[in-house]
Structure 1
Amino acid sequence: MILMEDVYKTYPNGVSALNGINVEIKQGEFVYIVGQSGAGKSTFIKLMYREEKPTSGKIVINDMELDKIKEKRVPFLRRDIGVVFQDFKLLPKLTVYENIAYALEVIEESPKSIRTRVLEVLDEVGLKNKARFLPAELSGGEQQRVSIARAIVNRPRIVIADEPTGNLDPDTSWEIMKTFEEINERGTTIIMATHSKDIVNTLKNRVIAIENGVIVRDEQRGEYGYEV
């Protein structure tokens, strides 16, 4: 469960990114975050995994109150949150297998359980035959699948995706969205910032629209609502 109450975020340069956000997202929901560039979407998302801290207000993620937890507890918060980025953020000198395994190595899983789980998620995203490849040897869509596999390898309750199809062609984007839908069907909460009108209007889910740091629309099975 995700809860934000009266959340404000002002950056040191004086830019006001969020202005009184109040929202609740239940476990298992699939939510699109939409809005024009600069509306506050990225800040909204970064607050959830403590990449940014609110200037004021209350944020609760999986029963952890983010403005009150100590820095040493942040890694425990992030174990339950998978993050998928537009530019993949894969480690270029590590193989596909190693990129995913790294997420388990940092929490000191055993080598045997790491191997089992990595091969399992590679199978889920259709890349079991690419385990020994380097990121540069993969297509953009395959790299994003690796990024998704890395995000879900810890079996997080929440997956946050920031423009995950932004660098992909339309056909590949639909394949990636199918993967996200399958993850969501297993009970994982998906929160996705996107500029894709076609995806939002075709694959109906909850839509939260942000403008000038304020939620202006929150609809179940909503529309994108902006010209592209």
Structure 2
Amino acid sequence: MIEMKDVWKVYPNNVSAINGINITIEKGEFVYVVGPSGAGKSTFIKMMYREERPTRGDILIDKTNLSTLKEKQIPHLRRRIGVVFQDFKLLPSLTVYENVAFALEVIEENPSVIKRKVMDVLDIVRLKSKARALPDELSGGEQQRVAIARAIVNQPDVLIADEPTGNLDPDTAWEIMDILEDINHRGTTVVMATHNKDIVNTLKRRVIAIENGRVVRDQVRGEYGYEI
């Protein structure tokens, strides 16, 4: 599903963020990406949905080469990749339903299909009863669940979660993890960058550890052994 071949990323200020990474993530895997701050995790994640472009090397998502992808092709790519951020990025003036529906409206989906898909994903994230609420009427955990619903409403092949529990209390973080596990069990590949050792060490999945822009450990059902 995801393959990186000798990928390097050097920013214009000559800071080298990624140094020759080779990695393969299979369809249906749940993978944690861990490592200390400044290790290159964010760049690693951003390159997967073409927020950043590698300086050298190839990144393939289901055989589509992101390294050579034209700008006009990026919106189509992102229909196949859902992204969840630490700070939710909800539109404050839109309801829960409207925030999720927006992802389908921009691709001009049929209104009847939009309604069905939105209510289906709100059911998955346990928020059907809050469909008419505005973001500021929700808790942080509920807002993150809306963000997850928006990310999966297009039924993406891959869900990328960048510190999705970073702003949440422990109990709420576990609620989010239950939902991400459910989404993974439905067949979506999940790649999650995190600093949360308790989650990584309890819900044991594959762990890719990055330090100084390199993969220093790639372990199936591993543990978080790195300082934040």
1:160 corresponding residue in structure 2: 160
Structure 1: gaps spanning 5 or more residues: none
How far does residue 195 in structure 1 lie from its aligned partner after superposition? 0.2
How far does residue 63 in structure 1 lie from its aligned partner after superposition? 1.4
Residue 76 of structure 2 corresponds to residue 76 of structure 1: yes
The 3-state SS of whatever aligns with 2:22 is strand
Normalised to the residue count of structure 1, the TM-score between the two structures is 0.99
Work out whether residues 7 and 19 of structure 2, in 8 Å CA contact, stay in contact via their aligned partners in 1. yes
1:204 corresponding residue in structure 2: 204
Distance 1:122 1:194 in 2: 24
| 1:111-122 to 2 correspondences below 5 Å | 111-122=111-122
How far does residue 193 in structure 1 lie from its aligned partner after superposition? 0.2
Distance 2:63 2:107 in 1: 21
Letter in 2 for 1:81: I
2:151 corresponding residue in structure 1: 151
The 3-state SS of whatever aligns with 1:14 is coil
Distance 1:53 1:187 in 2: 27
Q: Deviations over 1:57-85 (max 9, x none)?
A: 01101111111121111111110000000
2:41 corresponding residue in structure 1: 41
Distance 1:79 1:62 in 2: 13
The 3-state SS of whatever aligns with 2:5 is strand
The 3-state SS of whatever aligns with 1:43 is helix
Distance 2:226 2:198 in 1: 11
Distance 2:164 2:66 in 1: 25
1:85 corresponding residue in structure 2: 85
2:102 corresponding residue in structure 1: 102
How far does residue 125 in structure 1 lie from its aligned partner after superposition? 0.5
Work out whether residues 42 and 162 of structure 2, in 8 Å CA contact, stay in contact via their aligned partners in 1. yes
The Cα RMSD (Å) is: 0.7
Residue 173 of structure 2 corresponds to residue 173 of structure 1: yes
Q: How many residues align?
A: 228
Distance 1:96 1:68 in 2: 36
How far does residue 176 in structure 1 lie from its aligned partner after superposition? 0.4
Distance 2:194 2:6 in 1: 24
The 3-state SS of whatever aligns with 1:156 is coil
Structure 2: gaps spanning 5 or more residues: none
2:32 corresponding residue in structure 1: 32
Distance 2:213 2:227 in 1: 19
Runs of 4 or more, structure 1, over 4 Å off, are: none
How far does residue 227 in structure 1 lie from its aligned partner after superposition? 3.7
The 3-state SS of whatever aligns with 1:173 is helix
How far does residue 120 in structure 1 lie from its aligned partner after superposition? 0.8
Q: Deviations over 1:174-204 (max 9, x none)?
A: 0100000000001100000000000000000
Letter in 2 for 1:187: G
Query: Identity of counterpart residues, as a percentage?
Result: 72
Work out whether residues 80 and 154 of structure 2, in 8 Å CA contact, stay in contact via their aligned partners in 1. yes
Q: Deviations over 1:118-141 (max 9, x none)?
A: 011111111001111110110000
Work out whether residues 36 and 227 of structure 2, in 8 Å CA contact, stay in contact via their aligned partners in 1. no
1:19 corresponding residue in structure 2: 19
